[in-house]
Structure 1
Amino acid sequence: MAKIKRDPKSVELANRIIEEYQPESVEDMQNALKDIFGPMFESMLKGEMNHHLGYKSNDKGEKESSNRRNGYGKKLLHTSSGEVEIATPRDRDGSFEPQLIPKRQRDVSAIEDKVISMYARGMSQRDISLTIEDIYGFSVSHDMVSDITDSVIPELEEWQTRPLSNCYAFLFVDCMFTTIRNEYETKKYAVYTILGYTMQGKKDVLGLWLNETESKHKWMQIFDEIKARGVEDIFFISMDGVSGLEEGARAIFPEVTVQRCMVHLIRNSIKYVPSKDYKAFTASLKKVYGAQSLKACQSAFESFKQQWSAYPGAINVWIRNFNHVEQLFEYGSAIRRIMYTTNAVESIHSSFRKVTKKGAFPNDTALFKVLYLRVKELEKKWEGGHIQNWSMVMNQLLIHEGLEERVHKYI
């Protein structure tokens, strides 16, 4: 096994700790860390006080300011290494509200969450280290950041294999590509994402998968896996145009309705349309898939074909897939608005790209850590909410012939 590379500053600090404390046991090391935690937290709080007042201690701004430092108070903190007493800075008018260790908070054992939160927002280990140093005046090594973020790996592994709901009303499937360094070269990999809407109208990311390419065989394996994790039935799957994906989904879930994404079809068809006609072309298409009834849709499609006959390549895309347009009108308008596009999962991928755009990842574990933490951030936003107009969706599912019995089975 190759020797692990350590930050020289971290090695120097470790040697100084060992030289100073001469630890002979894990308990001795924890006691040494407790001694370090105190000054570390105090330094961070002093940094916050400097920011609050707008000047450092003994700066000329102190004489000009109406609010000044007012000594220190004592506070006993509970850390992951035990109890630590610190001196907390105070100001004269009592307006200082520390963010790192808020007033009345004494348990800081979860301070690692702050580093994990920065990591979840796409900050690199270097950026996190520099940010902490800029704000608090001391450095955190890259190795320490890596160790802190590695703490989510067991949670990630548990999440990837957790039992799923027995039924999803809607699934949205899609891939995005990102870069991983493989020894001395970088290579694009496909990240597979599935977003589900539960019978209660809640969003649920079923999992994340990685493969060198997007293929029907990988999608088959994924559908087989989610079935093994407890999914018994799926009403609708919205997808793009990967060849064989529809057949693969039905092989695992025979009763599922597979819907081609209208937005993907638009993208495929405008490849054959000059840019000057994009706006008028897409407006004509919206009259087709956005019609109020099947008859109106078919009438609008005939007009569309005549209007844009100069672009047969674009028209052929819709002729080949018109059965997916007609299929929409077998369901109520509330259902149609959900199933006609994969925008829901593409929105997740847009969020992922914000945290993957900085460059290649050293391995798939590093990639999954970032994406998983991003999913947890999204889930916080989704907490307590429902899919818009979900009650109407459920009513339309209940009155649809062929779905009524399946709906009653899972509500």
Structure 2
Amino acid sequence: MITNGLLNKQQLRQFVKEHNFQSTEDIQATLKELFKDVLQATLEAELDTELGYDRYDAKTKTTKNSRNGFTKKTVASEYGDVEIQVPRDRLGAFQPVVVKKNQTNVTGIEEQIIALYAKGVSTRDIQDHLEQLYGIEVSPTLISNVTNKIVPVIKEWQNRPLQNVYAVVFLDAIHFKVKQDGHIVNKAAYMVIGIDLDGNKDVLGIWIGENESSKFWLSVLTELKNRGVQDILITCVDNLTGFSQAIAACYPQTEIQKCIIHQIRNSVRYVSYKDLKKVTADLKPIYKAATEAGALLELERFEEVWGEKYPLMVRSWHQNWDELATFFKYPPELRKLIYTTNMIESYHRQLRKVTKGKSIFPTDESLLKMLYLATVDVLRKWTGRVQNWGQILLQLTVHFPERVQVR
């Protein structure tokens, strides 16, 4: 009876008994030696099969030894570096199959490096992991060279054509520290999530720039338009100054919904700690109202109570009202989707899990590589449509009859 390996159960038990393993390290060391012996025997068998031990030379009419001793070769394997004696082929006709000439690695080391990098593992930790687990020594330069292989993939992804129309687009930035010209500076990673008319979510792109600004957002929106996005029904954004103007410059018909949660956070900056709990409770009836008229009535009541003590907070709500109140015109299913930027903030939390081990990134490119690989993992989980999308799409066809064409 043969097991999944090369030994039957009885032979395997005898093998274990003979070696008296006391730890996994003992097993690893034994497998390493076994791998080395099998690999070397395979190379010698290849040479014997291919050339034979001796070869007849027609020119001199003599039989020559086709081997010319051995040469040492260190090969990286799943069991660590192993040193083998490779038979020399003096006549030069031998092309090894198992370990090719000049090959020094027989593992999927590149895939392992990229997988670890995608999980946010630092370069130093990747080195330690590969050395401890496999006995393989890799340099920071090698790790960088391996991860650089995904740069063309990122460029292709970043420039892929997009759909003509997106129902909802979320725009937000997440901030990181990056080395630049010998200094550590704050950089913004500009993120865009789009929901298409089929209810599917997608990350439309990632851009690395200076601290978040409406000017950079304008360049992002312009790029989206150049990649095929001709219309966006609703955009969900935070309260960044100039954001609305940047959106209007590229998509003048797009409705803008400013995030209610961001508005609350920004406005309570003016509130003393002892009043914070009461103020946030009194704000709730405003954005929980059934209609915009009801919300305005609640805002008036709020102003009567807190307007004199916190005039700047009340002024902020009045100044932003037109774009805070956008969601009131829609039914509950669509309201729930757009009145906050929770969707993109949830995506940001997934990125933070990966990047939290990197306090400072050496370059913009290194940051982009890690964000892209983390995004690929996130996208694998986005397999279904947005909840209640059938109902939402029906509502969109009513509100945007000329811009939403149901197939």
TM-score above 0.5, yes or no: yes
Structure 2 unaligned spans of 5+: 1-15, 25-29, 40-45, 47-74, 80-105
User: What amino acid is aligned across from residue 391 of structure 2 in structure 1?
Assistant: M
Displacement, 1:224? 1.0
User: What amino acid is aligned across from residue 328 of structure 1 in structure 2?
Assistant: F
> Taking every aligned residue pair, what percent have the same amino acid on both sides?
38
User: What amino acid is aligned across from residue 297 of structure 2 in structure 1?
Assistant: S
Partners of 2:111 and 2:166 in 1: how far apart?
A: 32
Q: How does 1:274-293 map to 2 (within 5 A)?
A: 274-293=272-291
Q: How does 1:29-178 map to 2 (within 5 A)?
A: 58-60=20-22, 112-178=110-176
1:173 is paired with a residue whose SS is strand
Cα distance per residue 1:51-84 (max 9 Å; x no partner): xx9xxx644469xxxxx99x979999xxxxxx99
1:350 is paired with a residue whose SS is helix
C-alpha distance 361-61 of structure 1, shift in aligned 2 (>3 A): closer
> Which residue is 1:379 aligned to?
379
User: What amino acid is aligned across from residue 326 of structure 2 in structure 1?
Assistant: Q
> Which residue is 2:317 aligned to?
318
Structure 1 unaligned spans of 5+: 1-52, 63-67, 77-82, 89-107
User: What amino acid is aligned across from residue 374 of structure 1 in structure 2?
Assistant: A
C-alpha distance 58-248 of structure 1, shift in aligned 2 (>3 A): same
> Which residue is 2:353 aligned to?
354
1:254 is paired with a residue whose SS is coil
Cα distance per residue 1:126-184 (max 9 Å; x no partner): 11111122223333332222222111111001011111111111111112221121232
Partners of 1:137 and 1:236 in 2: how far apart?
A: 54
User: What amino acid is aligned across from residue 391 of structure 1 in structure 2?
Assistant: G
Shifted more, 288-297 versus 201-210: the winner is: 288-297
| CA contact 1:180–1:188 (8 Å) conserved in 2 | yes
Q: What is the aligned counterpart of 1:222 among 208, 220, 223?
A: 220
> Which residue is 1:370 aligned to?
370
> Which residue is 1:332 aligned to?
331
Partners of 1:277 and 1:190 in 2: how far apart?
A: 33
| CA contact 2:78–2:134 (8 Å) conserved in 1 | no
Displacement, 1:373? 0.5
User: What amino acid is aligned across from residue 323 of structure 2 in structure 1?
Assistant: H
2:161 is paired with a residue whose SS is coil
| CA contact 2:257–2:325 (8 Å) conserved in 1 | no
Partners of 2:108 and 2:254 in 1: how far apart?
A: 44
Cα distance per residue 1:283-313 (max 9 Å; x no partner): 2222111212223222222222223232222
C-alpha distance 60-255 of structure 1, shift in aligned 2 (>3 A): closer
Partners of 1:183 and 1:259 in 2: how far apart?
A: 38
Please state if 1:202 is matched with 2:192: no
Cα distance per residue 1:333-390 (max 9 Å; x no partner): 11111111112222222333333342222211111111111110111111x2121221
C-alpha distance 356-60 of structure 1, shift in aligned 2 (>3 A): closer
C-alpha distance 87-360 of structure 1, shift in aligned 2 (>3 A): closer
Partners of 1:282 and 1:164 in 2: how far apart?
A: 40
Displacement, 1:404? 1.8
Partners of 2:217 and 2:310 in 1: how far apart?
A: 33
> Which residue is 1:391 aligned to?
390
Displacement, 1:110? 5.5
2:185 is paired with a residue whose SS is strand
Partners of 1:129 and 1:376 in 2: how far apart?
A: 23
> Which residue is 1:407 aligned to?
404
Partners of 2:160 and 2:38 in 1: how far apart?
A: 41
Q: Which has the higher Rg, Structure 1 or Structure 2? A: 2
| CA contact 2:333–2:392 (8 Å) conserved in 1 | yes
- Aligned residue pairs total 321
Partners of 2:290 and 2:149 in 1: how far apart?
A: 52
1:404 is paired with a residue whose SS is coil
> Which residue is 2:95 aligned to?
none
Cα distance per residue 1:253-312 (max 9 Å; x no partner): 121001111111101111011223323322222211121222322222222222323222
C-alpha distance 60-285 of structure 1, shift in aligned 2 (>3 A): same
Displacement, 1:192? 1.0
| CA contact 2:214–2:246 (8 Å) conserved in 1 | yes
Partners of 1:58 and 1:210 in 2: how far apart?
A: 56
- TM-score, normalised by the number of residues in structure 1: 0.71
